[in-house]
A and B are shown apart, each in its own frame.
Chain A
Amino acid sequence: AQSVTQLGSHVSVSEGALVLLRCNYSSSVPPYLFWYVQYPNQGLQLLLKYTSAATLVKGINGFEAEFKKSETSFHLTKPSAHMSDAAEYFCAVTTGTGTASKLTFGTGTRLQVTL
C-alpha cells in the first residue's frame, strides 16, 4: 500500500526566508502526488499536483514541488515566505486502482511565519 511521510509536524521560518516542507512516499509504481493547504478553520484546498508529466510542479501562491523518484520525495518549496502562508500543509498520494482509488494523506506540517 502506498503512503506518505511528512517530516516535521511544525516548521517555523522568518518572513522572506525559504520554505521547505518535506514529504516522502512509499510506492512501487509511479504515484499521483499532491500538496493541500488548510488555513485556520477552513477545509483543505489543492496547492499543486504531480501526475507523471513534468517533475517540477508549480502551484498557487508561488509554491512548487519537485518529484524525485530516486529519493521517493515530493518536497514543497517557496523561495520567500509571506505571513499569509501560515497554515497547515498536507502531502497526499493516490492509493488503490480503479474504483478503489482514493487519496491518502500525511499527518500534516504546520507552517509558522514570523517577522
Chain B
Amino acid sequence: NAGVTQTPKFQVLKTGQSMTLQCAQDMNHEYMSWYRQDPGMGLRLIHYSVGAGITDQGEVPNGYNVSRSTTEDFPLRLLSAAPSQTSVYFCASSRDYFTGELFFGEGSRLTVL
C-alpha cells in the first residue's frame, strides 16, 4: 500500500544546478500538488494539477516547473537552484480538487549551497 512516494528523500545541490523531485501515487487520484514547508511559514502551494495534462500555479511558483503526463506522476523541476529554495518539499494527492483530503508523501529535504 504505497500511497504517495517521493524521491529522493535528501538532496544537496549547488547554486545553479538543476534537479527533479519525483512524485508518484498509486491511488488513481486526479488531483496532485507540491508544497514547500519552511519554519514558521507553514506549507505553501507551489504548483498543482487537477488531472493529466493540466497544471496551474500556486502561491510560490517562481523557480519551479511541473508537468503531468500521466495520472500517477507529478515531477517538480528546479531549473537553476537558489539558496532560497532550501526547504522540505511535499507532494500530495487527492481524489478530487475540492475535498481537501490530501494524502502526503514523506517529504524531500533539499539543501542548496
Contact = CB atoms under 8 A, between A and B. Distances in A.
B104 to A, nearest CB: 3
Interface of A: 9, 32, 34, 36, 41-46, 49, 90, 92, 94, 98-108
A9 B40 contact: yes
B40 A102 contact: no
Contacts of B35: 105
A49 B101 contact: yes
A100 B50 CA distance: 9
Interface in B35-71: 35, 40-45, 48, 50, 54, 56, 58
A115 B48 CA distance: 42
Nearest to B59: A104
A92 B42 CA distance: 10
B104 A45 contact: yes
12 contacts: A9-B40, A32-B99, A32-B100, A34-B101, A43-B105, A90-B42, A99-B97, A100-B56, A102-B33, A102-B58, A105-B43, A106-B42
A88 to B, nearest CB: 10
- Among the interface residues B40, B56, B97, which one has the most CB atoms of the partner chain A within 10 A? B97
B97 A43 contact: no
Nearest to B44: A105
